[in-house]
Structure 1
Amino acid sequence: MQELIGTGVALITPFDAHGNPDLEALTALVDFNIENGVDYLVVLGTTAESATLTAEEKAAVKACITKANNKRVPEVLGIGGNNTAAVVEELKTTDLSDYAAVLSVSPYYNKPTQEGIYRHFEAVANATDKPIILYNVPGRTSSNMAPETVARLAADFDNVVAIKEAAGDIVQAMELLRLVPEDFLVISGDDMITLPMVLAGGAGVISVIGEGMPAEFSAMVRLARAGQNEQARALQYQLMPVIDMIFEEGNPAGIKALLAHRGICSANVRLPLVEASAGLKMRIADFLKEF
């Protein structure tokens, strides 16, 4: 799965002044990221506010990204949830021909046991031949996928090929790297610890800040993978303040504020999310000016 090595970005869904998906801005965002060096695009992940999109809006977003991309870089599609049967049905009824892999979040809210998580992804893996990227984000799901569970899934299902690990725990990430097969990809889902994860053997990142600062963040990952650690660290330390800022009032409010300042889209989000505060927007703008 060489397509999943390097920097992937979890694309937002821009909204216009009326709250509708802004496909012109989404096209501009795709171009901005590809032209600035990202390696692949993640479509309809949680950063896309996919929980608030209708089926028709999701179809429009997918079509827009695929058209704008024009096969320049691989695409990954987010399909996940806490109703296993519904996830399986979506996998079986969705045309996945445009996608290199599926990103599937660990079930949220239900708080399943490790055996429940295993059986959920067993059903997911059996529902499609597409490569599956597991997604562990306990800060949102309220349950952690243990490294032993990930290793078990990797060993039992050929199409479970990677994990987006967003626990924010470098020790857990290293335990994952120790336990999984050599060809299984451990992808950072936490922008702040991407560099140490890559240096420890990780495959790269699925990033949020990367879509707002694609040239700099993808360069950091490439430098780290090439062993140019001093240059990679310099970029990491430059970017740390803005990484903190974009998550300060929730995701994707922060990254949309940054993208709005860069003239790519509005800062609009959908309830129950609200726009970043005026103070945060100002601090993000000040950072970009100084950067």
Structure 2
Amino acid sequence: MNSKFVGTGVALVTPFNPDLSIDHKALSNIVKYNIENGTEYLVICGTTGESVTLTKQEKKEVIATIIEANQGKLPLVLGIGGNNTAAIIDEIKSTDLSQIDAILSVSPYYSKPTQEGIYQHFKAISEASPIDIILYNVPGRTSKNIEAKTTLRLANDFKNVVAVKEAGNNMAQYLELIKNKPDGFLIISGDDDLALGVTLAGGAGVISVIGQAFPKEFSEMIRLGLQGNAKEAYKLHFKLMDVIGYIFEENNPAGIKSVFEALNLCQDTVRLPLVPASKALKQKIERFVNNF
């Protein structure tokens, strides 16, 4: 089992200044905050990092800032995915992966391939990648579910396909994957609201959005879940439950950035087509943070 991806990984935001340039100081502070408070690994340039609105140069700068702040302390996962298989392979080959432990690759969006198309897409990526791959299934964003049988087929066929970040908010599919997965293959929750239940059922933990704002409590909840201590773990789950709902109420990462603003860790600036959280949502988030 690839134990470096067991526990709590966090999908880091990319903080922006009011002029929409990257706030590297805030990014560095968020990384250090997570290292100090129990997060197990960091995920760079995922959906929460607004990777689709970053230029190639900005991505390089974000990666460099995180590597510098991390100082080799936590494993790093880099998002490289899309719906142009050849372009993804090109990006893998042209990216310096020497400090990266795995690639997180989202299922092709917009194109709506068949299950065979999804399999062939990841087969090509697996054959091109010099490092481990975590599949990413998020049908709410891609409009196409990676069915459990496709994930399991990839897990069985390719040694460097080591895990799936499953974010379909579908407990039945989670359980099918946990029941039938090969030894050592990790089922990682991509749903903050289901993360504890998935972990208790035999999952490997979570790649979380809210975890980066409350790393101490969230990572402890997952550790208790991995130990099978449901009673103590659910105390923390209930403590965090409201804010998990809030951050996904409008869009991600506007919600989590609003939490960070309330924690004085970064501004709530996002790039279009996203807009900051509404006044009503911000007030709920501020109230939660102030009373936490």
> Which category describes the TM-score, using the shorter chain as reference length?
over 0.9
Q: In 2, distance between residues paired with 1:188 and 1:60?
A: 28
2:89 is matched with 88
2:159 is matched with 158
**1:33 and 2:34 aligned:** yes
Preserved CA contact (<8 Å) 1:106 1:134: yes
Residue identity matched to 1:214: P
Residue identity matched to 2:264: G
Give the SS at the match of 2:17. coil
Preserved CA contact (<8 Å) 1:47 1:252: yes
Q: Any unmatched runs of 5+ in structure 1?
A: none
Could you give the per-residue CA deviations for residues 224-280 of structure 1, whole angstroms, max 9, x where no partner exists?
Answer: 111221110111111111000000011000000000100000000000000001110
Alpha-carbon shift at residue 179 of structure 1 (Å): 1.8
1:217-228, aligned counterparts within 5 Å? 217-228=218-229
Preserved CA contact (<8 Å) 1:38 1:218: yes
Task: Report the TM-score when normalising by structure 2.
Answer: 0.99
Give the SS at the match of 1:104. strand
Q: In 2, distance between residues paired with 1:111 and 1:240?
A: 33
1:8 is matched with 9
Give the SS at the match of 2:159. coil
Alpha-carbon shift at residue 129 of structure 1 (Å): 2.4
Preserved CA contact (<8 Å) 1:148 1:179: no
Q: In 2, distance between residues paired with 1:129 and 1:185?
A: 19
1:283 is matched with 284
Q: In 1, distance between residues paired with 2:88 and 2:185?
A: 23
2:131 is matched with 130
1:21 is matched with 22
2:70 is matched with 69
Alpha-carbon shift at residue 94 of structure 1 (Å): 1.0
How many residues are treated as equivalent by the alignment? 291
Q: In 2, distance between residues paired with 1:54 and 1:128?
A: 22
Q: In 2, distance between residues paired with 1:104 and 1:128?
A: 11
User: Identity, % of aligned pairs?
Assistant: 55
Q: In 2, distance between residues paired with 1:213 and 1:138?
A: 26
Could you give the per-residue CA deviations for residues 72-113 of structure 1, whole angstroms, max 9, x where no partner exists?
Answer: 111001100000000011111111110111100000011110
Q: In 2, distance between residues paired with 1:27 and 1:254?
A: 20
1:232 is matched with 233
Q: In 2, distance between residues paired with 1:31 and 1:265?
A: 13
Task: Report the TM-score when normalising by structure 1.
Answer: 0.99
Moved over 6 A (4+): none
Q: In 2, distance between residues paired with 1:130 and 1:203?
A: 20
Could you give the per-residue CA deviations for residues 119-178 of structure 1, whole angstroms, max 9, x where no partner exists?
Answer: 000000000121100000000000000000000001111100000000001111000111
1:186-205, aligned counterparts within 5 Å? 186-205=187-206
Residue identity matched to 2:161: V
Q: In 1, distance between residues paired with 2:185 and 2:128?
A: 20
Residue identity matched to 1:83: N
Could you give the per-residue CA deviations for residues 180-209 of structure 1, whole angstroms, max 9, x where no partner exists?
Answer: 102100000000000110011000100000
Preserved CA contact (<8 Å) 1:137 1:167: yes
Preserved CA contact (<8 Å) 1:132 1:160: yes
Q: In 1, distance between residues paired with 2:183 and 2:249?
A: 35
Residue identity matched to 2:202: G
Q: Any unmatched runs of 5+ in structure 2?
A: none
CA RMSD of the aligned region, Å?
A: 0.6
2:48 is matched with 47
Q: In 1, distance between residues paired with 2:171 and 2:227?
A: 20
Residue identity matched to 1:140: R
Q: In 2, distance between residues paired with 1:244 and 1:204?
A: 19
Residue identity matched to 1:158: K
Give the SS at the match of 1:143. coil
